[in-house]
Each structure stands twice: as structure tokens, then as C-alpha cells.
Homo-oligomer: A and B are copies of this chain.
Amino acid sequence: MFIYVCQIQFVEDKQEFSRFPTKAGRRSLSRSISQSSTDSYSSAASCTDSSDDETSPRDKTQTNSKSSTDFCVKNIKQAEFGRREIEIAQQDMSALISLRKRAQSEKPLAGAKIVGCTHITAQTAVLIETLVALGAQCRWTACNIYSTQNEVAAALSELGVAVFAWKGESEDDFWWCIDRCVNTEGWQPNMVSLPLLFDKIDANVHSLRVLSKAGKLCVPAMNVNDSVTKQKFDNLYCCRESILDGLKRTTDVMFGGKQVVVCGYGEVGKGCSAALKALGAIVYITEIDPICALQACMDGFRVVKLNEVIRLVDVIITCTGNKNVVTRDQLDRMKNGSIVCNMGHSNTEIDVASLRTPELTWERVRSQVDHVIWPDGKRVILLAEGRLLNLSCSTVPTFVLSITATTQALALIELYNAPEGRYKQDVYLLPKKMDEYVASLHLATFDAHLTELSDEQAKYLGLNKNGPFKPNYYRYVCTF
């Protein structure tokens, strides 16, 4: 869930994109690396996967209604269905639509040629179509061989965006798509959108990381991940909802009265704990940091070592970012029927590898749900094989994706329009004021009305009436 939007001075790094042409036009040839927020797949996506047609898209010739053939998707005829998915997504992305409306007469991205490599979902489509509305030309490919919503790819292609992606690409397809996306006659990208850190489930991590690393070294980049807004939403608020959703969809577990241990009391742990407590679970916390531990105490949780409660609890949820937080020895002592899952930032928190031993039987009972069975018949329910539960087993609300997408759009505009010299070869945070702007665009959804400072009050507080209202260092807020 880390995203970079950047504008890169092209530096003849031909390893991956050897046919990239050199700089031309007002701006040097650059790459803007961005990614649609999360690895989740919407429910809709999984419903519509009719694999009736077995022909590879590479072997088909398709033409959209404007007679263009500059795209490669599963089936261009699904465009109408995809359009509906995009329209549904737009309903919860009114901030981005609002930005689109406000800025489309100015065309702040006129001349921008953006290549993107992200998940291709309805929400991404809303972002791409916003970039187009603001003047950009876009070509897009998928960052993951499984995550493309075929209908959405068709709808974008029908609109004229050159998309090269389908669900279920082979690795060879994947590279073929990137090549077709980037290398086209008479078109040179000057911005790129790429994920900085891919989740470990992606097959394509290595190569893209090289690309992103190259980018980091030689151009200004904007870290849209560490904005306050995105952090609070992706972590605290989003996890508060997705922990419940993820557990319910996989196990139908009743929350009331369940004893749960949440390992780690950062933003993710806080969100998970609050939601479960609110639904009647009894939650224990483990922590290494005494400040977080003290907060857990004040919030009404018992702070324990995992070993103290391991025989007692019904559910373990890891939210630490650490490794081997739940060990084989501890899994051995869990109750029959207990559930183990991970909401943290990696797939290392539960020592899943230690469970792949001959004396234990694995039984896949549902998608993403394994029963690990001990010789005495005890079953421990492992979700998503220890990978992130909310990426694998629940959906991310479109509203959260809207915040991410709006932030990305603003970052692209800022980088593209900044005066020469404002940004050097470094990683920047989105300026505080833009962070506030993203937030303000989303208030309409809640019919929330902001109070405005009077001149007298602004003077008293030493603030500009239009913000920023807090200093830049207030963004480091997410961990306590």
C-alpha cells in the first residue's frame, strides 16, 4: 500500500525499458510512478470472470467503436458492463470527480504523457479518466497478473485509453504488455506512476522495484503514502472496518464474547481493537513500546505477553510489521478452532513456514481459509496463509481509494506544474496544504461544513485563513 508518484529525469536506464526514447519537448522524458492504492479486488470483479473465451488476447484483433486498435484487453465487448462498474465507483469518489470538474477547464496536465502500471480496477479507472479530463494522455498496464477487472479495461479502451492488461496474464504476457504500453510510435511518456513497494504476493516485484529504485535516485518524487489523510484512512479507519469484514467473510465467526489478542497497538492495531471491542469481543494487546502499551491500558485493554493468553484466545491478529510474532511453539498451544490472521505490513508476522511440517495436515476449507490439523485433531484456522487479511479477504471501501487517488492526482499536478527547481532529486511529502485540500474535497460526502477563521482569529492564531492549519511535521501522526 505504499505509492509513489514521481516525475523522473530520464537517465538512459535501459535495463527494463531499453527502447525508451530520450527527452523531448518542454519537459524531459520522465516517468511518473504511481499505483492505485491497494491490492484488494472488489467483489464485483470476482463475479464477472467468465472465462468462456480461451483465446489469448494477444492473438485477437479487437477494434473499439472509434476504430482504434491501440489496446489489448480480454474482450472489448465488455466495455458497457465495465462502464457501469466505473459509474458505481464514481458515486463514492465524488471528491475526485469534484477535482475533475474544478480543474478541467484549466487542463493542468495538458501535455503530460503518463504511463501507469497499477491494478486496473474501477477505482483506478476513475483516476485515469480524471487525468485525461485534466489534459493528460495516458497509457496503462497492470502491475499484477491477477488483479485486472477485464470489463473495466475494456471500458477504458473503448474510451481511448491505451490499456494493455487482462486477468490471468502469464509472466510473458506481463512483460509483453509493459512493452506495448511504453513503446509506441510517436509517443514519449513524461510521467510514470508506479508502486514503490509491492506486496510480496506479486510475482513481479523484483523487476519493478529495480525500476522504482532507478527512479528514486535521479528525479524528484512525491511520497503520497505518508500524507496524514491517507495514513489515517488506510490504517485506522480502514482497518476498523476491514478486520470485521475479513473475519466474517472467511469464517462467519461471531464477534460477541470472543477473546482476541491483537499484537501491536499502532494505528492498525488501534483500528482492529476498537472495532472488535465495539462488537463485544474481549481484546488483549501485546506491545513492545511502552508508550503504545500505556495508551492501550488507557483505552481499556489488558496488555499482556502473548504466552500469557495463548491457550485462552479464540483469535490472534498480528499488526506489528515485525517477524515471527506468532511462533510455531505458540501455535502448538492454541485452542482447537482458534483463528490466526495478519493485518500488519508483511507476511512474516506469523511463522507460517513452521507449520509446513509432515506431522501437520493442511486442509483448504474455503478460498483463503486453511485448517491446519495437529495429530490430536486440533484445528487452527489460518487465514490467507498469513498474508494481509484485508488485501486478500475483504474489500477496501471505494471512499478510501478515492482519498488515495485524489492525492495521486494532486501530486501529479504539483510535480508537473512546479517551477523549475522547486523539487530536486529527492523524495517529497505532499505539501501540508494539499493534504488539507484533499481532505476538504472529501468533506462534501459527509455534508460536513467547515468553519472559517475570521480575520481577527487568523491573526490571533498566526495562521493564513486558508491554511495550512498545522505545521508540516504534524504528518508523522500515524503510529501512536
Could you pull out 10 A-B pairs where Cβ atoms are within 8 angstroms? Answer: A44-B366, A91-B336, A256-B298, A257-B298, A275-B279, A291-B439, A303-B443, A305-B449, A308-B449, A470-B479
Contacts of A359-395 to chain B: CB distance below 8 A: 363, 365-367, 371, 379, 394-395
Contacts of A241 in B (CB 8 A): 248, 254-256, 279
Give 1 or 0 for each of A461-472: 1 = CB within 8 Å of chain B CB: 100000101100
Contacts of A91 in B (CB 8 A): 336-337, 379
- A25 an interface residue at 8 Å Cβ cutoff? no
Contacts of A84 in B (CB 8 A): 363, 365
Pairs of residues from A and B, 5 with the lowest C-beta to C-beta distance, nearest first: A278-B278, A254-B397, A303-B448, A290-B440, A290-B439
Distance in Å from the Cβ of A477 to the closest Cβ of chain B? 5
Contacts of A474 in B (CB 8 A): 476, 479-480
Distance in Å from the Cβ of A336 to the closest Cβ of chain B? 7
List 16 other contacts, CB 8 Å, given A252-B397, A257-B446. A43-B252, A88-B371, A91-B379, A228-B480, A241-B255, A252-B395, A257-B298, A289-B467, A290-B437, A290-B467, A293-B450, A303-B448, A303-B449, A470-B479, A474-B476, A474-B480
Report the copy number of this chain in the oligomer: 4
Contacts of A397 in B (CB 8 A): 252-254
- A42 an interface residue at 8 Å Cβ cutoff? yes
Report the contact-size class of chain A (Cβ under 8 Å from the partner): 35 or more
For A299, give its contact among B280, B440, B449 (CB under 8 Å).
B280
Q: Check B477 against A480 for contact (C-beta < 8 Å).
A: yes
Q: Which of A6-14, A206-214, A321-329 participates in binding chain B?
A: A321-329
Q: Check B443 against A290 for contact (C-beta < 8 Å).
A: yes
| A124–B366 alpha-carbon span in the complex (Å) | 20
| A300–B448 alpha-carbon span in the complex (Å) | 11
Contacts of A201-258 to chain B: CB distance below 8 A: 228-229, 232-233, 237, 240-241, 244-245, 248-249, 252-257
Contacts of A324 in B (CB 8 A): 454, 456-457
Distance in Å from the Cβ of A71 to the closest Cβ of chain B? 25
Q: Check A366 against B47 for contact (C-beta < 8 Å).
A: yes
| A255–B243 alpha-carbon span in the complex (Å) | 13
Q: Check A237 against B256 for contact (C-beta < 8 Å).
A: yes
Q: Check A237 against B457 for contact (C-beta < 8 Å).
A: no
Contacts of A297 in B (CB 8 A): 256-257, 443, 446, 448
- A83 an interface residue at 8 Å Cβ cutoff? no
- A281 an interface residue at 8 Å Cβ cutoff? yes
Give the nearest-CB partner of A322 in chain B. B457
Q: Check A450 against B88 for contact (C-beta < 8 Å).
A: no
- A288 an interface residue at 8 Å Cβ cutoff? yes
Most chain-B Cβ atoms within 10 A of its Cβ — which of A294, A304, A467, A469? A294
Most chain-B Cβ atoms within 10 A of its Cβ — which of A280, A348, A451? A451
For A228, give its contact among B291, B296, B469 (CB under 8 Å).
B291
- A306 an interface residue at 8 Å Cβ cutoff? yes
